Amino acid sequence: MVASAVEDPNVLELPLSSDSGTLQIMAETDNGLGDCPELLSLAQDNPDTTVVLTANLNAQTMNGGTLAQCSER
């Protein structure tokens, strides 16, 4: 009997709005989201804050990508 792999990542959904429309960014991670949701919430509507999302696009996961880091600049 072969066990099937089950992956249940955390997903961060981030809508970005501009004059040309709305873009939805979705990032997933197997390692939890850490303080990223709080950091994004604090940065919302604050034009002096830059948030950097770093993705690992070669992650050894079923989908091949994870959110590696969320930081403020």
Q: 14-49 pLDDT, tens per residue?
A: 888 888 999 998 888 877 888 999 999 999 989 899
State the pTM of this model: 0.70
> Within 10 Å of residue 37's Cβ, how many Cβ atoms?
13
25: its two tokens: 């960014």
| Nearest C-alpha neighbor of 28 from the set 5, 6, 57, 51 | 57
Asked if pLDDT for residue 62 goes beyond 90, the answer is no
Domain ranges of the chain: 11-72
The residue among 60, 57, 16, 14 whose CA lies nearest residue 33 is: 14
